[in-house]
Amino acid sequence: MSGFVSRTALLFWRALRLRCPNCGQGKPFVSWFRMRARCPVCGLAFERGEEGYQVGSYMFNIIAAELIFAAIFLAAVIATWPTPPWTLLEVGGITLMIIIPFLFFPFSKLLFLAFDLAFRPAAHEELGPPGGNAPATRR
Ligand SMILES: [Zn+2]
Using the mean position of ligand 1's atoms as its centre, give its distance from the Cα of residue 21 in Å: 7
Q: Which of the two residues, 139 and 1, has the higher pLDDT score?
A: 1
Please tell me the predicted confidence (pLDDT) of residue 128: 79
The verdict on residue 138 lying in a domain is no
- Between 138 and 37, the more confident residue is 37
**If pLDDT is split at 50, 70 and 90, which confidence band does 137 have?**
very low
Q: How many domains does the chain have?
A: 1
Residue 30 lies in a domain: yes
Q: For ligand 1, a single-atom ion, which residues have Cβ within 5 Å?
A: 20, 22-23, 26, 39, 41-42
* Separation of CA 113 and ligand 1 centre (Å): 11
Cα of 65 vs centre of ligand 1, distance in Å, is 27
Q: What is the pLDDT of residues 90-131, one digit of tens each?
A: 999 899 888 888 888 899 899 999 999 999 999 888 887 765
**For residue 41, is it within any domain?**
yes
Q: Evaluate whether residue 36 is within a structural domain.
A: yes
Whether 101 is covered by a domain: the verdict is yes
Element (H, E) at 135: none
pLDDT score of 20 more than 50: yes
Quote the domain boundaries for residue 12. 2-126
Burial class (CB in 10 A: 0-12, 13-18, 19+), 127: middle
